[in-house]
Amino acid sequence: MWELLLRDDARGTLHHWDGDGFGHLPWREVVADAHGMAASLRAAGVGPGSRVATVLTNSAHTVRGLLAVWLAGGAVASFPLPARGQSPEEYGQQLSVLSDRLDPVALLVDERLRALVPAGLATRLPVRTWTSLYGGGRIEPEPPGPEETAFIQYSSGSTSLPKGCELSVRAVGTHLHMLREMSDGRPGEETIASWLPLSHDMGVFGTMLHAWAFDHDFVMSSPERFGMAPRSWFRDMSEFGATMTAGTNTALHLATRAQGRTALPKPLRLKVFVVGAERVDFDTLNAAAETFRSSGLAPEAFMPAYGMAEATLAIASCPLGELPSARSFDAAALLDDRVVEVPAGTPGATRLVSNGPPLPGVRVRTAVPDRVSELLVATPSLASGYHGDPRRTADRFRGGELRTGDLGFVHDGEVFFVGRADDLISVGGRNVHTGEIESAIEDLGPVRKGCSALVEVPGSPVSRLVLLLEPARRSDDFRSIADRAATVALEKSGIALSECVFVERGHLPRTPSGKIQRFRCRSLLGRDDSRLKTIARVRLD
């Protein structure tokens, strides 16, 4: 891997958003600056075998600093960014808990995040900003060896307390080559554009390191900028002539809706548009293809993919240059874990987007053959386990396979993701996939796309099913929306909603990459739903 990142003949450029515009930094200058930062880190105690806690924000300082940690010999531990809806106190507590588990030699953060580090943590752990590392001279690099840990990827915390996936140099390097094969990238000819957070596996491996390793230009925006102006994603790709990008289904929907009829400044050149990190919706792909068709976006560019941090990133993907496909399955059969394909348009059918076949060298099977069950994955880029968590490691990593915790199936050689096992609830002895209900309710219209969460709230004598949702308009009749949602839930899965909680636009808890944090929704409902910025509550039982 190091020969890819440390080359002195690179021609590519890092184009980085600095708040007012884009700065431009050749990769070879990134490497030169990183050497100086590595010297400062070595003086601060970072050396071979050490671990460095980081919060990887989307800045050129962070990109340099990432390499600097490796040059000094340390392993980078990527802590999550503050999630939407998370208080400063909660985030500080999270930093403290993760640091205690990691036992790092230092914590590196942006200047703007320094105030979020609890005073107690700062007294027992050196806290440095990226900019404080410049000008340290030069050292003899001692990056981690092939089987040593290079990166500890802490999850975004969409379902639980973040867990740290330990990735070796070999796993990361192998996966970068897998990404190159998947995208057929040509050194010096590609431009990758992304707003995804570098603290997320899709952002750091799928876009930034992918571009750096194979000498592509990289256009780096930020999740904050995308959140404020979703149109900026496609505008950047137009301006810089991006040939590759990646993002979530929800983000693609937001960017498409925000674009409207506004023309892009230049035709799009995209050939690779990876859509992953969550279940992919075929209507979202179609809407985006139609909106940007006149700007040159070909539907064949979309590559629905399935992956996770434990595999470094990608596991399966729609092949390059092929149209994404969706198949219809009998919904009642899926609820019974049976896979029954039916003709498109069949009443009661569920349409699922294929995530394509497993990548070369990767094997995907289900815990129960030919049934909807847990996906099991074997890949050459598999993590070695969870740092500091031998029990969870033993439970999830078995015999060279990963128990993903995801539910799905393999049909005609293609992977179909149904949902997280955590999102499966049992009602009256039947399994109910929350994503199915949420998607159907969002299709009604008055609910913002990707802005609903069905949660089970413990109670006495029985638990209650509560739907949280962000309405498209505050002027709508919330009682009518709640009644329609209850009808859909009953027809779709035979469940009865107890309550609909309408939340102010933009206030459902999410990870920095945009996934709803269902466990935090449940937690806030149980103790302090005022933090949700509740507009209205409609009881249905």
> Chain centroid to CA 428: how far?
33
Question: In b/e form, how buried is each residue of 423-458, taking b as 16+ CB within 10 angstroms?
Answer: bebeeeeeebbbbbbbbbbbeeebbbbbbbbbbbee
What confidence tier does 460 reach under pLDDT thresholds 50, 70, 90? Answer: very low
Q: What's the count of helices (H) and strands (E) in the chain, helices before strands? A: 17, 28
Q: Once rounded to an integer, what is the mean pLDDT over residues 449-471?
A: 76
Cα(179)–Cα(463) distance, integer angstroms:
44
Q: Which pairing describes strands 424-427 and 430-433: parallel, antiparallel, or unpaired?
A: antiparallel
What is the reported pLDDT for 429? Answer: 52
Cα(514)–Cα(521) distance, integer angstroms:
14
What confidence tier does 250 reach under pLDDT thresholds 50, 70, 90? Answer: confident
CATH superfamily of 324-421: Luciferase; Domain 3 (2.30.38.10)
Cα(381)–Cα(376) distance, integer angstroms:
14
Residue 485 C-beta-side C-alpha neighbours within 13 Å: 34
Contact 290, 298 (CB under 8 A): no
Contact 484, 468 (CB under 8 A): no
Contact 54, 150 (CB under 8 A): no
DSSP state for residue 133 in the 8-state scheme: G
Q: Name the average pLDDT for the chain.
A: 89
**Angle value at C-alpha 448, between 523 and 500, nearest 5 degrees:** 45
- CATH 2.30.38.10 residue ranges of the chain are 324-421
- CATH 3.40.50.12780 residue ranges of the chain are 2-228
Cα(433)–Cα(334) distance, integer angstroms:
9
Q: Once rounded to an integer, what is the mean pLDDT over residues 241-262?
A: 91
How does pLDDT run across 269-313, given as a tens digit for each residue?
999 999 988 889 898 999 999 999 999 999 999 999 999 999 999
Asked whether residue 434 carries a pLDDT value surpassing 70, the answer given is yes
Q: Once rounded to an integer, what is the mean pLDDT over residues 159-180?
A: 89
Contact 10, 27 (CB under 8 A): yes
**What is the residue type of 5?**
L
Question: In b/e form, how buried is each residue of 78-116, taking b as 16+ CB within 10 angstroms?
Answer: bbbbbbbbbeeeebbebbbebbebbebbbbbbbeebeee
Q: Once rounded to an integer, what is the mean pLDDT over residues 143-154?
A: 96
Asked whether residue 512 carries a pLDDT value surpassing 90, the answer given is no
How does pLDDT run across 324-333, given as a tens digit for each residue?
999 999 887 8
Please enumerate in sequence order all residues whose Cβ is within 8 A of that of 99, keeping only pairs 6 or more positions apart, or say none. 53, 107, 121, 125
Contact 317, 304 (CB under 8 A): yes
- CATH 3.30.300.30 residue ranges of the chain are 428-539
Q: Which of 227, 235, 416 is nearest to 337 (CA)?
A: 416
How does pLDDT run across 48-102, given as a tens digit for each residue?
999 999 999 999 999 999 999 999 999 999 998 887 667 888 889 989 999 999 9
Q: What is the CATH number of domain 2-228?
A: 3.40.50.12780
CATH superfamily of 428-539: ANL, C-terminal domain (3.30.300.30)
What is the reported pLDDT for 425? Answer: 66
How does pLDDT run across 495-508, given as a tens digit for each residue?
788 888 898 888 88
Question: Could you tell me the CA-to-CA distances from 29 to 7, 34, 189, 286 in Å, in that order?
Answer: 11, 8, 19, 41
How does pLDDT run across 343-388, given as a tens digit for each residue?
988 887 888 999 999 999 999 999 999 898 999 999 999 999 999 9
Furthest CA-CA distance within the chain = 69
Written as six digits, the tokens of 56 are 């990887």
